[in-house]
Amino acid sequence: MGMLRVLSRRGDDQYEWNVSQVEAGDQEAEAAVREAERIFREERARGSTAIRVQPGEAPQKIDEFDPHAKEIVMIPRVIGG
Amino acid sequence: MNNFLPVSVTVLIILITFARIVQLVSLCPSATSRVWPWLRLQRWWPVAADHTAELLLRDMLTPKEYNQLRLRALLEIPSQLYPGRVYQVPRGPGQVMVLEGGRVVERLCLQPLEALPEADVILMHKLLLETDEKTYLATANHFPRPTWH
């Protein structure tokens, strides 16, 4: 399972997808990935930072949506305070 | 009526005393950093955003990091660019302290454009510092160290 977490005032909005089902050709699973990718691009266009978080690995900043990621956290645009 | 007045006055005094105790406890960072996160982790916590954010923060941090945050009301993140430098991210409002050799050398201020729950802000600092420290430093406003440090 993959998960996109978009940090927001509501805590975090979560979007899940199942890679193995996508690879098996499940249409619902493909739609879920496409939706997650659309949100990813939308958030990136708004200036959000995307970070891939994998268990046992250091977090990594990414520019492109990774459907094989275990978890992607999107942080809204930041400014100097 | 004669009984009602003393009872209501007593209840009022109890409520004011309780509120004062809560206010005093709230002024102590080491107390609030233990009590409020614990409350936010409970399922019945009325603010869903705070509950979700606290759960995410607990899951993303190592037990050692989360314990440090609980006990000291701050999270220490070692720099990956500058050996010996440590960033102290506070729980709650405040600036990120930059420590070198155990001494505060400057303070950083960086905030999200969109309001986020307290726990999400801590996670934001951690992830940004660990993945792109250079951009973090370029974006944050830098302030000299306070005179008392």
Q: Does B117 touch chain A (CB under 8 A)?
A: yes
Chain A CB contacts of B109 under 8 Å are 80-81
pTM of the model: 0.85
Helices B29-41 and B48-60: crossing angle, nearest 10°? 100
Q: Does B112 touch chain A (CB under 8 A)?
A: yes
pLDDT band, residue A56 (cuts 50/70/90):
confident
Q: Does B27 touch chain A (CB under 8 A)?
A: no
H/E stretch holding A78: strand A78-80
All structural domains of chain B with their residue ranges: 4-144
Q: What is the pLDDT of residues A2-55, one digit of tens each?
A: 999 999 998 889 999 998 898 888 899 999 999 999 999 999 999 999 999 988
Give the pLDDT confidence score for residue A45 in this predicted structure.
96
Residue with tokens 């990956």: B80
Give the pLDDT confidence score for residue B147 in this predicted structure.
64
The three-state (H, E, C) secondary structure of chain A, written as one string? CEEEEEEECCEEEEEEECHHHHHCCCHHHHHHHHHHHHHHHHHHHCCCEEEEECCCCCCEEECCCCCCCCEEEEECCEEEC
Chain B CB contacts of A58 under 8 Å are 130
Q: What's the distance, CA B55 to chain centroid?
A: 14
| ipTM (interface predicted TM) | 0.92
Using CA of residue B46, residue B42, residue B57, residue B32, what is the dihedral sign?
positive
Residue of A nearest to B60 (CA): A53
**What's the angle, vertex CA A73, arms to CA A71 and CA A77, rounded to 5?**
165
Mutate to test the interface with B, among A70, A75, A77 (most CBs of B within 10 A): A75
Chain A CB contacts of B60 under 8 Å are 53, 73
All structural domains of chain A with their residue ranges: 2-75
